[in-house]
């Protein structure tokens, strides 16, 4: 199968690209290379005859049309997005332009492409979304595919909007789509502005490790390579029009996650131990969602997918990866906004 992956130079998109090529799929990586995009993430497959890269922006409909015409993919996996909640608080406009208008452009381009080709049976567009569209949970319960949409940040609202557009294009125009909503990912190539890399890299530098509020917010963590496996399963075997919740069944309070990382660093990089002395509680994120948790019963029952990596093992692999890949993360720390406290302009 030839798959057009949007956002394939990002964190999750690049894991999908690497896995899809390893599985023998041809992959066209469409990415604008924003501040979050990095071609080093796909360097391991760049020389493969199965891989092609197209620098294009999904805000530009003509650019998407040209890529579709040039490569004639059998399927589209849509991951390109503005993805950082803190940046969405300071500057929501880019999130509306890429996540909403860009997704609309992609849907229209895909609809046109699919119709021109005589509506081929096997074609599908897979929209990759987040559990943040469901809002914030109390201490109990988990999100199912039937949970009401209740986004609370500009990022989550923009992703919710794109989910609605994708469903509408399926119902109204018959566009063959599948959707998935995933919990927080972590692992190799995670951009150094997100919580887990911030903790690891600040600890290595002997800098304060910021924890928002009291660190009591709960996230449900999934190793990124397990997510990529789930996404290929949804793309190839998911039921059209259906959405799938994907999660690691690995809930942790932020403060406990940070302490787990510090303990791993004490063991794997004892210089500077104990690293938890660097923890500093800082002003909370405005509108900070208290808890996310995914009920992955549907994807487990229908597609036989389950996470293969525990949180303890995944964090160990992640710390080892950052310790061994300074040449990847060091240059990214110089990109705009990285290392600054963002999301306080509410």
State the minimum distance, in angstroms, from the CB of residue 305 to ligand NAD. 15
Q: Which runs of consecutive H residues, i.e. helices, occur in the chain?
A: 11-22, 61-71, 85-90, 93-95, 103-116, 154-173, 195-205, 224-237, 254-268, 297-303, 311-324, 326-332
Q: What is the DSSP letter of 119?
A: -
Residues 17-56 touching ligand NAD, rule: CB under 6 A, are 31-34, 36-37
Neighbours of 174 (CB within 10 A): 14
Q: Scanning the structure block, which residue is given the tokens 């599908």?
A: 124
11 lies in the site for ligand NAD, by CB under 6 A = yes
For residues 129 and 278, which CB has a smaller minimum distance to ligand NAD in the complex?
129
Closer residue to ligand NAD (CB): 57 or 251: 57
Locus of tokens 């979050």: 36
79 in contact with ligand NAD (CB under 6 A): yes
CB of 80 to ligand NAD, least distance (A): 4
CA distance 261 to 311: 11
Q: Closest Cα partner for 246 from 229, 261, 260?
A: 229
Which residues are part of the catalytic machinery?
131-132, 155
**In angstroms, what is the minimal distance from the CB of 159 to ligand NAD?**
5
**DSSP element (H, E) containing 209:** strand 209-212
Report 204-263 residues binding ligand NAD (CB under 6 A).
Answer: none
Nearer to ligand NAD, 21 or 278 (CB): 21
The DSSP call for residue 149 is: P
Residue 94 Cβ vs ligand NAD, minimum distance, rounded to whole Å: 8
Name which of 31 and 209 has its Cβ closer to ligand NAD: 31
Query: Cα 124 to chain center, whole Å?
Result: 20
- C-alpha closest to that of 110 among 134, 126, 87: 126
Q: Which span (125-133, 203-211, 310-318, 335-343) binds ligand NAD, by CB under 6 A?
A: 125-133
Q: Which is nearer to ligand NAD, 36 or 278 (CB)?
A: 36
Among 88, 136, 185, 318, binds ligand NAD (CB under 6 A): 185
Where along the sequence are the contacts to ligand NAD (CB under 6 A)? 6-7, 9-13, 31-34, 36-37, 57-59, 79-83, 98, 102, 128-130, 159, 182, 184-185, 191
């Amino acid at each position: 199968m030839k798959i057009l992956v949007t956002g394939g130079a990002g964190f999750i998109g690049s894991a999908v690209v690497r896995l899809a090529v390893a599985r023998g799929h041809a992959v066209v990586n469409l990415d604008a290379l924003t501040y979050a995009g990095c071609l080093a993430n796909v360097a391991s497959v760049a020389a493969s005859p199965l891989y092609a890269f197209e620098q294009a922006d999904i805000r530009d409909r003509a650019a998407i049309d040209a890529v579709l015409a040039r490569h004639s993919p059998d399927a589209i996996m849509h991951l390109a997005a503005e993805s950082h909640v803190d940046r969405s608080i300071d500057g929501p406009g880019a999130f509306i332009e890429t996540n909403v208008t860009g997704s609309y452009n992609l849907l229209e381009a895909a609809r046109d492409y699919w119709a021109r080709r005589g509506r081929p049976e096997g074609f599908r567009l897979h929209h990759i979304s987040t559990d943040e569209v469901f809002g914030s949970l109390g201490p109990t319960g988990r999100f199912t595919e039937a949970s009401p949409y209740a986004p609370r940040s500009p990022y989550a609202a923009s992703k919710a909007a794109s989910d609605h557009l994708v469903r509408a294009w399926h119902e109204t125009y018959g566009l063959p789509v599948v959707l998935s909503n995933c919990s927080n990912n972590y692992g190799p190539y995670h951009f150094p502005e997100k919580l887990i890399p911030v903790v690891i890299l600040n600890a290595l530098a002997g800098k304060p490790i910021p924890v928002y509020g009291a660190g009591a917010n709960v996230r449900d963590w999934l190793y990124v390579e397990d997510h990529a496996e789930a996404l290929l399963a949804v793309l190839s075997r998911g039921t059209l029009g259906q959405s799938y919740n994907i999660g690691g069944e690995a809930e942790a309070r932020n403060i406990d996650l940070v302490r787990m990382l510090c303990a791993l660093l004490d063991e794997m990089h004892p210089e500077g131990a104990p690293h938890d002395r660097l923890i500093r509680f800082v002003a909370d994120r405005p509108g900070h969602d208290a808890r996310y948790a995914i009920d992955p019963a549907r994807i487990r029952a229908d597609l036989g997918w389950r996470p293969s990596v525990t949180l303890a093992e995944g964090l160990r692999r992640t710390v080892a990866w950052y310790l061994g890949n300074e040449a990847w993360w060091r240059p990214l720390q110089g990109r705009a906004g990285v290392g600054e406290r963002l999301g306080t302009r509410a």
